[in-house]
């Protein structure tokens, strides 16, 4: 039986062309069901984090900005994970994006259920807004990451045999790639327009807030995800590298906040070792939300793959 050959000439595993015999159908593989378990856990964690932060904000009078900053980082990082899978995950494009949209909707509704505190008439208003905001944020992350699918050939999956060679070299684009990118960009724009229709003038700041928080999340979430999915060293080295990068990001953002007070979007409360506590809480929330599920799925075999290419002469 012929088998797929994996080479290691890049930071990720390169996928060469597998034969039909190597590609076992997805429902016969145990790790195919790991996503369903993690999705359920993530939605439950989203609900629980909002609930816990509400309780902490009531107890920590004057310091409630710290748990709130951590919660914001956690929630935005959930959208990053959805965007990562929508952009680089397995399955076909349509089912992948539909599943990502369904999960973001359920997560947004879970948040709204906590915000309204049992007032179901208010839920009918807040629920669609939170669902659209979650979808908008996840789609925005996907738009940022999706060029890596074609240009770098990156895929996030459990098995190399799911991604046979297409016969095209990485970095080469055709008309369908541009069409796919235009469709991807159109989705968050359409969701943003829907938010404007629902919220009216209150949606004026969405176009500023989401990109700012998205950029802050990417500075932490992207390196942590890359380190976990391409791990070639011990867990101690990966953990040490992530902690060091997290400290650098927090120091830089805290310094910018000191020089430019208008950038203090978390209403900082105190600092230590040149790091603002609310800034640190935000990025720790991001790192935790990205690190724990990816580390769990890594144990099942999830990794960053490079889709194979044939040697065209």
Pairing type for strands 303-306 and 154-157 reads antiparallel
Mean pLDDT value across residues 294-306:
84
Mean pLDDT value across residues 249-255:
86
Measuring CA to CA, how many Å separate 234 from each of 227, 230, 241, 300, 306? 11, 11, 11, 17, 22
Q: What is the pLDDT of residues 172-195, one digit of tens each?
A: 666 777 777 888 888 888 888 888
The burial class, CB within 10 Å (0-12 / 13-18 / 19+), for 141 is buried
Cβ–Cβ under 8 Å, residues 138 and 79: yes
pLDDT of residue 223: 92
More confident residue, 302 or 27: 302
> What's the distance, CA 277 to chain centroid?
23
Helices 206-229, 65-88: crossing angle, 10 deg rounding: 70
State both tokens at 2.
């012929």
Query: Cα separation of 54 and 207, whole Å?
Result: 26
pLDDT of residue 80: 93
DSSP-assigned states of every residue in the chain: -----EE-SSSSEEE-PPPGGG---GGG-GGGGHHHHHHHHHHHHHHHHHHHHHHHHHHSTT-THHHHHHHHHHHHHHHHHHHHHHHH-SS-HHHHHHHHHHHHHHHHHHHHHHHHTT-HHHHHHHHHHHHHHHHHHHHHHHHHHTHHHHHT-EEEES-GGGS---S--TT---HHHHHHHHHHHHHHHHHHHHHHHHHGGGGGGHHHHHHHHHHHHHHHHHHHHHHHHT--S-HHHHHHHHHHHHHHHHHHHHHHHHH-GGG-TT----EETTEEHHHHHHHHHHHHHHHHHHHHHHHTT-EEEE-------
pLDDT of residue 116: 76
pLDDT of residue 165: 63
More confident residue, 186 or 271: 186
pLDDT of residue 178: 76
Domain boundaries, the chain: 6-306
More confident residue, 241 or 161: 241
Q: What is the pLDDT of residues 109-134, one digit of tens each?
A: 888 888 777 677 878 888 888 888 88
Q: Is the pLDDT of residue 283 over 80?
A: yes
pLDDT of residue 196: 82
Q: What is the pLDDT of residues 26-73, one digit of tens each?
A: 566 666 566 667 777 777 887 788 777 777 766 666 667 788 888 888
Nearest to 301 by CA among 149, 156, 164: 156
């Amino acid at each position: 039986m012929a088998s797929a050959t994996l080479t290691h000439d890049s930071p990720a595993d390169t996928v060469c062309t597998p034969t039909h015999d190597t590609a076992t159908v997805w429902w016969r593989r145990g790790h195919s069901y790991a996503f369903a378990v993690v999705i359920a856990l993530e939605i439950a964690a989203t609900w629980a984090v909002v609930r816990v932060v509400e309780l902490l904000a009531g107890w920590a009078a004057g310091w409630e900005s710290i748990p709130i900053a951590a919660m914001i980082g956690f929630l935005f990082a959930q959208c990053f994970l959805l965007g990562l899978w929508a952009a680089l995950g397995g399955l076909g494009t349509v089912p992948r994006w539909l599943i990502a949209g369904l999960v973001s909707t359920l997560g947004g509704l879970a948040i709204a259920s906590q915000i309204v505190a049992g007032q179901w008439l208010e839920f009918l208003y807040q629920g669609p807004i939170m669902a659209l905001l979650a979808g908008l944020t996840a789609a925005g992350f996907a738009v940022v990451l999706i060029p890596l699918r074609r240009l770098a050939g990156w895929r996030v999956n459990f098995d190399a045999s799911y991604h046979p060679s297409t016969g095209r070299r990485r970095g080469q684009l055709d008309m369908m790639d541009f069409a796919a990118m235009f469709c991807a960009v159109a989705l968050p724009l359409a969701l943003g327009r829907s938010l404007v229709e629902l919220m009216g003038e209150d949606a004026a700041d969405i176009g500023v807030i989401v990109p700012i928080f998205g950029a802050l999340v990417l500075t932490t979430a992207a390196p942590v995800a890359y380190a976990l999915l391409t791990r070639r060293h011990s867990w101690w080295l990966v953990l040490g590298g992530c902690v060091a990068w997290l400290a650098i990001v927090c120091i830089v953002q805290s310094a910018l906040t000191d020089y430019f007070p208008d950038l203090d979007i978390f209403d900082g409360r105190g600092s230590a070792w040149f790091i603002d506590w609310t800034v640190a809480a935000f990025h720790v929330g991001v790192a935790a939300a990205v690190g724990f599920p990816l580390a769990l799925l890594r144990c099942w075999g999830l990794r960053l793959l490079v889709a194979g290419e044939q040697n065209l002469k």
